[in-house]
Amino acid sequence: MSKYDEIYRQSIDDPETFWGNAAEDLHWHKKWDRVLDPDAKPVPRWFVGGEINTCYNAVDRHADSPIGDQAAIIYDSPVTDSKQVISYKELQQRVARFAGVLKNHGAKKGDRVIIYMPMIPEAAIAMLACARLGVIHSVVFGGFAANELATRIDDAKPDIIVSASCGIEPGRIVEYKPLLDEAIERARHKVGCSILKARKQTPANMIEGRDFDWDQEEQNSEPADCVPVAATDPLYILYTSGTTGQPKGIIRDNGGHAVAMLWSMKNIYDTNAGDVYWAASDVGWVVGHSYIVYAPLLKGCTTVLYEGKPVGTPDPGAFWRVISEHKVKTLFTAPTAFRAIKKEDPNGDYIHPYNLDCLQALFLAGERCDPDTLFWARDKLDIPVVDHWWQTETGWAIAANPLGIEPLPVKAGSPTVAMPGYEVRILSDEGEEMPAGAMGNIVIKLPMPPACLPGLWGNEQRFIDTYLSRYPGYYLTGDAGYQDDDDYLWIMSRTDDVINVAGHRLSTGQMEEVLSGHPDIAECAVIGVADELKGQLPLGLLVLKAGVDRAQQEIVHELVQRVREQIGPVAAFKQAGIIARLPKTRSGKILRGTMVKIANGEDWNMPATIDDPAILDEINEALKSLGYAG
Ligand code: COA
Ligand code: AMP
């Protein structure tokens, strides 16, 4: 039996001992009564009766230890040409003072604070300050539009929003303040306080009595202490795309999360206290929550917070500069970042000027890792490249190659094997277990390991309906794939409307809702078509209302703008075609899957239930005229 097999088996056979032991590495204000409550509804809960503070474990514990002067955060921002190193001691002071600011504005345990910020240290400080007070944070990615922010305000009902005057994208400044004002204006839930970090690139137009300046507030506040919270209390809510325009508020608890984060650093990433860990993502995504902020700090690592892109800031050598300059040991990013680098620098010439001896491993996640990208990275960097599979819902890897336990043989295209605590099964639509090699719905047997979502904010029924009802006793991942004879997992596609654009999770259903709101649109479908750089791109197929005779180009332009304004630039919705009708089944279901296959030039079969087969010829032609295979 391999070391991995042994550890995995322990986690499944005796989860209480396994995770109970892992939890001993943290500081608990009160020890748990039970490691696992298997009868909790709707899902089992971890560390019931325990009290903990995540910020204490991530910051104070290290600040007051021999690593207090070690860098906790290295901020590296090629877009502003600035860098900053914050030690654990300094981080403790800044977080405690900002917690004081939040407290002065009335924030207390269980309240919500929305954080809408670019990649600056204050984003992490705000998250940790919330955790310090037991306040639940909800970070909203900066690439979302005001409307999306408003939806989250109405769902999370925060008392305070923390933001900044602007974000910086290559070639343009994204002014956050007008977006923030518009979102507050649009939301039905009224937010009475916002705290803004003024950046020198753009001043913010402050509203007297509602908007407060971060720097002034921080200077004038008293440090606030850590507040112990129940292990099962929420640490944060992170919204993610589902099938409709209403995003799902994934809840993360404090205790289980801290335990899984800490465990994963050594065992999956082979990273120890003192090592420099860099997740090149954004704090607005789950990767940013878990591996820019919480896990590396819980472990006592130095985390790199990078405000830039893999290419263009200034060139495809950007990652190599950061790695060599800050002695990064472990890099984590999305395959799309490597595809972008490879496209601009296929021979890896930009690597040569830098000494990358410090770099021990590259981890990729967020979307399927195509073998070409994996081989390119491995060839150019000469280090292990690990594809691992997870979701916002789980908070950490469901499947990975656990380098810290033992490196397993790599099969390109597979994220390797299930991580401890995850009993992964492949089920047919009827709920039968599929044999090795056969595709099916990927599910996880309950209980899921610590850190996985215990629910959706304010909507337990949606949690049950979306994830738990389809196969009682199992969590439905929404991914389809198979397990091979060696128990390696192969994640092939989503079973819902979610598409993955540059590692960003987006809902085509949500885009359809936005397009349908346009007065000229009778009906529409948005499909995710294959894209060499971003993995997938959304493509709109639109049917106009009878009698609309405006220039089609003009309508398409308006629709592109509409998605950008209502969802945000991150949706990357730039292409749409007008067609006479949509292909449907006899019961009226749009045949999106068939259109995707046609667009991608894949083999497809005429669906037996199609209403009128002739429509597919029209679709073929329309897709060809848009530049797709047809
Ligand atoms: N604030 C405001 N706008 C943002 C934003 C932010 N934080 N992040 C992205 N956007 C905008 C971009 O500027 C772009 O706008 P545009 O249409 O005006 O050009 C749009 O949203 C789409 O962004 P993106 O999909 O990131 O494409 P890109 O062309 O700017 O960059 C990559 C492509 C591959 C370089 C980029 O996607 C990347 O670095 N990916 C790394 C992977 C990653 O971070 N994944 C997250 C999960 S791990
Ligand atoms: P997110 O919640 O944004 O992290 O997106 C999660 C989804 O991204 C998963 O359900 C998968 O569809 C996809 N995904 C993430 N990582 C991988 C991977 N390594 N291989 C295949 N798909 C992945």
Q: What is the dihedral of CA 281, 282, 284, 288, to 10 degrees?
A: 60
Asked whether the CA dihedral 600, 603, 608, 613 is positive or negative, the reply is positive
Distance from the alpha carbon of residue 570 to the mean position of ligand 1, in angstroms = 6
Average pLDDT (199-215) is 96
Distance from the alpha carbon of residue 368 to the mean position of ligand 2, in angstroms = 7
Ligand 2 atom at minimal distance to the Cα of residue 240: 2
DSSP state, residue 155: H
HSE-CB for 197 with a 13 A CA cutoff:
20
Residue by residue, DSSP assigns 4-18 as: HHHHHHHHHH-HHHH
Nearest bound ligand to CA 496?
2
Q: Are 184 and 154 in contact (CB under 8 A)?
A: no
Place of tokens 């046609």: 598
Distance from the alpha carbon of residue 499 to the mean position of ligand 2, in angstroms = 10
pLDDT at 4 exceeding the cut of 90 = yes
Measured by CA distance, the residue closest to atom 4 of ligand 2 is 391
Ligand 2 atom at minimal distance to the Cα of residue 498: 12
* Residue ranges matching CATH 3.40.50.12780 in the chain: 3-308+388-481
Residues 205 and 185: their CA atoms lie apart, in Å, by 15
Strand-strand pairing, 211-213 and 193-197: parallel
Which residues sit with their C-beta closer than 6 Å to ligand 1? 142-143, 167, 169, 174, 281-282, 285, 287, 309-311, 333-334, 336-337, 340, 366, 502-504, 569-570, 572
Distance from the alpha carbon of residue 376 to the mean position of ligand 2, in angstroms = 21
Containing 194, the helix (H) or strand (E) segment is strand 193-197
Each residue of 213-253: pLDDT tens digit?
999 999 999 999 999 999 999 999 999 987 777 889 999 99
Which pairs with CB-CB distance under 8 Å and at least 24 residues apart come from 2-9? 2/406, 2/408, 3/405, 3/406, 4/402, 4/405, 4/406, 4/408, 4/417, 7/267, 7/405, 7/420, 8/417, 8/418, 8/419, 8/420
Average pLDDT (23-32) is 98
* Cross-sheet strand order for the sheet of 440-445: 423-427, 440-445, 474-483, 489-494
Distance from the alpha carbon of residue 95 to the mean position of ligand 2, in angstroms = 32
pLDDT at 481 exceeding the cut of 80 = yes
Nearest bound ligand to CA 567?
1
Nearest bound ligand to CA 175?
1
Longest dimension (CA), the chain: 74
Average pLDDT (609-629) is 89
Measured by CA distance, the residue closest to atom 4 of ligand 1 is 143
Distance from the alpha carbon of residue 165 to the mean position of ligand 1, in angstroms = 19
Going by C-alpha positions, the residue among 583, 30, 67, 586 that lies closest to residue 300 is 67
pLDDT for position 630:
64
Q: Are 116 and 184 in contact (CB under 8 A)?
A: no
- Ligand 1 site-directed mutation target among 177, 291, 570, most atoms within 8 Å of CB: 570
pLDDT at 610 exceeding the cut of 90 = no
Each residue of 406-453: pLDDT tens digit?
999 999 999 999 999 999 999 999 999 999 999 999 999 999 999 999
Share of the chain above pLDDT 70, in %: 100
* Residue ranges matching CATH 3.30.300.30 in the chain: 502-625
| Amino acid in the structure at residue 556 | V
pLDDT for position 512:
96
pLDDT at 466 exceeding the cut of 80 = yes
List alpha helices for 115-167, DSSP H. 121-133, 146-156
Distance from the alpha carbon of residue 289 to the mean position of ligand 2, in angstroms = 15
Q: Are 470 and 476 in contact (CB under 8 A)?
A: yes
Which residues sit with their C-beta closer than 6 Å to ligand 2? 240, 286, 365-369, 387-392, 415, 478-479, 491, 494, 500, 505
CA 235 to mean position of chain CA atoms: 16
What would the two tokens of residue 571 be? 């949706």
Q: Which residues, in sequence order, are CB contacts of 214 under 8 Å at separation 6+?
A: 98, 101, 122, 162, 164, 195, 196, 197, 198
Distance from the alpha carbon of residue 557 to the mean position of ligand 1, in angstroms = 20
* Cross-sheet strand order for the sheet of 229-230: 28-30, 51-52, 229-230
- Ligand 2 site-directed mutation target among 505, 507, 510, 534, most atoms within 8 Å of CB: 505
- Ligand 1 site-directed mutation target among 149, 169, 283, 564, most atoms within 8 Å of CB: 169
Distance from the alpha carbon of residue 503 to the mean position of ligand 2, in angstroms = 8
CA 244 to mean position of chain CA atoms: 18
Residues 101 and 169: their CA atoms lie apart, in Å, by 29
Q: Which residues, in sequence order, are CB contacts of 182 under 8 Å at separation 6+?
A: 146, 150
Going by C-alpha positions, the residue among 208, 110, 206 that lies closest to residue 156 is 110
Distance from the alpha carbon of residue 573 to the mean position of ligand 1, in angstroms = 12
Residues 56 and 425: their CA atoms lie apart, in Å, by 37
Cα radius of gyration rounded to whole Å, the chain: 24
CATH class of segment(s) 3-308+388-481? alpha beta
Q: Specify the CATH number of the domain 502-625.
A: 3.30.300.30
- Ligand 2 site-directed mutation target among 289, 401, 419, 491, most atoms within 8 Å of CB: 491
Nearest bound ligand to CA 286?
2
Ligand 1 atom at minimal distance to the Cα of residue 340: 34
Residues 447 and 40: their CA atoms lie apart, in Å, by 10
DSSP state, residue 24: T
What would the two tokens of residue 464 be? 């049950």
Each residue of 338-371: pLDDT tens digit?
999 999 999 999 999 999 999 999 999 999 999 9
pLDDT for position 130:
99
Each residue of 555-601: pLDDT tens digit?
999 999 999 999 999 999 999 999 999 999 998 889 999 999 999 99
Distance from the alpha carbon of residue 393 to the mean position of ligand 2, in angstroms = 10
Each residue of 388-404: pLDDT tens digit?
999 999 999 999 999 99
Distance from the alpha carbon of residue 477 to the mean position of ligand 2, in angstroms = 10
Ligand 1 atom at minimal distance to the Cα of residue 533: 34
pLDDT for position 288:
98
Ligand 1 atom at minimal distance to the Cα of residue 366: 48
Distance from the alpha carbon of residue 502 to the mean position of ligand 1, in angstroms = 7
Distance from the alpha carbon of residue 280 to the mean position of ligand 1, in angstroms = 12
Ligand 1 atom at minimal distance to the Cα of residue 280: 44
List alpha helices for 145-284, DSSP H. 146-156, 176-186, 214-219, 255-267
Residues 240 and 177: their CA atoms lie apart, in Å, by 23
Place of tokens 């474990």: 57
Residues 445 and 474: their CA atoms lie apart, in Å, by 4
Q: What are residue 473's phi and psi, to 5 degrees? A: 90, -5
Measured by CA distance, the residue closest to atom 3 of ligand 2 is 505
Q: Mean pLDDT across the chain, nearest whole number?
A: 96
Distance from the alpha carbon of residue 99 to the mean position of ligand 2, in angstroms = 33
Ligand 1 atom at minimal distance to the Cα of residue 339: 34
